[in-house]
């Protein structure tokens, strides 16, 4: 049985994490599996009833009756036989639904009245104070207004799945792991698989037990066969952990995940050959961090000597990195020593901890949030205008020639981009505008196209390319203080300005079968 941890409730997943996508279609096969498991005592009667109750409530199974107020009864033996017969195709789906209707009529399965759900709540307090709601209904209503599966920052691709990096949802820094199976339709909830890890764990540090934050990541990086989630947490006074998922194991298996730390705060990074480079942003005291970090993937994950850290001593904070010509280029976010920022460049032919392997280039601007190599230049994108007055020059994208280190600028009006996605040399800056609809860019060298698809209503933060589609990670709704659960992608085989080239889907917990501990 899979377990999902949420801030207010523990949700026990029944069977598979299966989407609510069959209201007007045939009942999905997994329901048959559940019926068969119950018929053979592989699961309990309570688990079967809870699963069917949710399917009716979520309108995956339709019944035509309204429940009465008679006392609930024990499950008749014939219902169990019927479930087993349907699981083995001895009876039809219609006969099985008739059996479910009987259970509803007799209050063996309770279906709540529509009067109890989907009221026009506007605050969390209204939902929590409504005693007419069950725990499950309360959770669904909270999620409808303040989505749990929201606030993602970056993504990674392993050839089969897109993995989104959980950062900060509408409730807290979270560890709501989520992946999408690219072999299935993007708007089919069956293609999506969630799994919540605990947001905190206990660990020993210098001989004492401490609480370590295992949530709130900023970026995901793939190096076969693992997905690495970039640490970004400063609230415990000790540091962050790198999370690693083994793609050879089931996504909802706790043992597939490993932690290592404690580290400072990093934002995104890059994989180059056998190393993962993490872009330094803050230290665990929430001050500017100039200590780039790298991990040698050929060495044990939990071994201290597998990791190297080096002090640049230039008081600049970075967001994102890119590799080109065997060099690592770090995008400068901010500095506390002057009005200038410094691009940091590491030559991978030299020692990571040797100052002679590093080069620093001063630039007159800051506010950069990512870098990508288009085959000729390393391009740095700016988000300055999202948070500050858009002074002259702060809308400039940087084009850096990786060998000569010559810099050119391209002015992008009101630049507000949080990350950049590389699709075989065509670059897609990720729009992050909090008060206007997002303006998406497609960049072929210095040539740009812009477009605002009508379905895009969020500020996005990073993403990934799977060979055909560009995926944008949702962070916050535009003109709202709510984190976004609107996942978006663009089909690069279609015209950039074609509305039909864009798809989106909102992910809710009610898209998946779950049970709530009262």
What is the C-alpha end-to-end distance of the chain, expressed in Å? Answer: 18
CA–CA separation, 512 vs 19, rounded Å? 4
- What count of Cα atoms within 13 Å lies in the side-chain half-sphere of residue 61? 28
CA–CA separation, 11 vs 190, rounded Å? 19
Q: Are 265 and 219 in contact (CB under 8 A)?
A: no
pLDDT of residue 450: 97
3-class DSSP state for residue 106?
Answer: coil
CA–CA separation, 89 vs 82, rounded Å? 10
* R_g (Cα) of the chain, nearest Å: 25
Domain ranges of the chain: 2-145, 152-511
Predicted confidence pLDDT, tens digits, the chain (518 residues) = 232 333 333 332 323 233 333 334 456 666 777 788 888 887 777 667 766 765 665 555 655 544 443 344 567 778 888 888 888 888 888 888 777 777 766 666 655 444 444 567 888 889 988 888 888 888 889 999 999 999 999 999 999 999 999 999 999 899 999 999 999 999 999 999 999 898 888 887 788 888 888 899 999 999 999 999 999 876 667 788 999 999 999 999 999 999 998 888 899 999 999 999 999 998 767 677 789 999 999 999 999 999 999 998 888 899 999 999 999 999 999 887 656 789 999 999 999 999 999 999 999 888 899 999 999 999 999 998 777 777 776 789 999 999 999 999 999 988 899 999 999 999 999 999 998 999 999 999 999 999 999 999 999 999 999 999 999 999 999 999 999 999 999 999 999 999 999 999 999 988 886 555 45
**pLDDT tens, 298-319?**
999 999 999 999 998 888 899 9
In the DSSP assignment, the letter for residue 197 is P
Which residues are within 8 A (CB) of 476 and not within 5 positions of it... i.e. 6 or more apart? 151, 434, 458, 459, 482, 483, 484
Sign of the four-CA dihedral 182, 425, 492, 459 = positive
389 burial type by CB count under 10 A (0-12 exposed, 13-18 middle, 19+ buried): exposed
Which residues are within 8 A (CB) of 463 and not within 5 positions of it... i.e. 6 or more apart? 154, 155, 419, 421, 428, 430, 470, 471, 472, 473
CA–CA separation, 233 vs 219, rounded Å? 13
| H or E element in which residue 437 lies | none
pLDDT of residue 289: 76
pLDDT of residue 135: 82
Nearest Cα residue to 152 out of 463, 493, 510: 463
Show the tokens assigned to 78: 């014939």
CATH number, span 152-511: 2.130.10.10
β-partners of residue 327 are: 324, 347
If you count them, how many residues does the chain have? Answer: 518
The pTM score is: 0.79
pLDDT of residue 223: 98
3-class DSSP state for residue 230?
Answer: strand
Q: Are 487 and 474 in contact (CB under 8 A)?
A: yes
pLDDT of residue 335: 81
pLDDT of residue 119: 66
| H or E element in which residue 140 lies | helix 135-145
CA–CA separation, 198 vs 74, rounded Å? 36
CA–CA separation, 260 vs 242, rounded Å? 5
| H or E element in which residue 491 lies | strand 486-491
375 burial type by CB count under 10 A (0-12 exposed, 13-18 middle, 19+ buried): exposed
């Amino acid at each position: 049985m899979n377990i999902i941890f949420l801030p207010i409730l523990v949700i026990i997943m029944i069977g598979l994490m299966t989407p609510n996508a069959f209201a007007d279609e045939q009942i999905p096969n997994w329901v048959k599996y559940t019926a068969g498991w119950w018929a053979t005592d592989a699961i309990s009667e309570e688990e079967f009833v809870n699963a069917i109750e949710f399917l009716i409530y979520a309108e995956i199974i339709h019944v035509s009756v309204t429940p009465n107020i008679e006392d609930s009864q024990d499950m008749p033996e014939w219902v169990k036989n019927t479930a087993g017969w349907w699981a083995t195709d001895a009876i039809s789906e219609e006969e099985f639904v008739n059996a479910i209707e009987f259970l509803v009529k007799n209050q063996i399965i309770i279906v709540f009245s529509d009067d109890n759900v989907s009221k026009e709540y506007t605050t969390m307090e209204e939902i929590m104070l409504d005693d007419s709601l069950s725990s499950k209904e309360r959770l669904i209503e909270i999620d409808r207004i303040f989505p749990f599966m929201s606030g993602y920052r970056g993504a990674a691709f392993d050839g089969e799945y897109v993995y989104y990096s959980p950062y900060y949802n509408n409730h807290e820094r979270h560890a709501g792991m989520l992946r999408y199976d690219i072999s299935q339709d993007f708007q089919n909830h069956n293609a999506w698989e969630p799994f919540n890890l605990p947001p905190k764990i206990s660990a020993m540090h210098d001989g004492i037990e401490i609480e370590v934050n295992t949530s709130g990541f900023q970026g995901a990086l793939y190096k076969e066969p693992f997905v690495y989630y970039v640490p970004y947490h400063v609230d415990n006074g000790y540091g962050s952990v790198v999370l690693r998922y083994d793609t050879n194991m089931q996504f909802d298996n706790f043992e597939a995940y490993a932690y290592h730390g404690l580290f400072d705060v990093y934002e995104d990074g890059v994989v180059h050959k056998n190393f993962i480079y993490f872009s330094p942003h803050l230290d665990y005291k929430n001050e500017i961090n100039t200590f780039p970090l790298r991990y040698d993937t050929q060495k044990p994950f939990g071994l201290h000597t597998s990791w190297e850290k080096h002090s640049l001593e230039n008081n600049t904070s970075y967001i994102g990195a890119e590799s080109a010509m065997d060099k690592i280029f770090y995008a400068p976010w901010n500095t506390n020593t002057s009005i200038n920022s410094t691009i940091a460049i590491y030559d991978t032919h030299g020692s990571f901890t040797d100052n002679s392997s590093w080069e620093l280039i001063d630039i007159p601007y800051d506010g950069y949030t990512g870098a990508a190599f288009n085959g000729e230049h390393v391009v740095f994108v700016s988000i300055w205008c999202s948070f500050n007055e858009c002074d002259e020059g702060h809308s400039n994208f940087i084009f850096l020639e990786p060998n000569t280190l010559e810099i050119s600028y391209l002015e992008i009006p009101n630049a507000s981009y949080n990350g950049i996605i590389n699709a075989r040399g065509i670059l897609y800056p990720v729009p992050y505008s909090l008060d206007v609809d997002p303006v998406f860019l497609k960049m072929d060298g210095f040539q740009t196209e812009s477009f605002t698809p009508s379905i895009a209503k969020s500020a996005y933060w990073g993403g990934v390319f799977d060979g055909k589609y560009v995926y944008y990670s949702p962070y916050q709704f535009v003109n709202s203080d709510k984190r976004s659960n609107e996942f978006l992608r663009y089909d690069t085989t279609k015209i950039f300005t074609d509305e039909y080239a864009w798809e989106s889907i909102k992910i809710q917990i009610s898209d998946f079968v779950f049970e709530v501990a009262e």
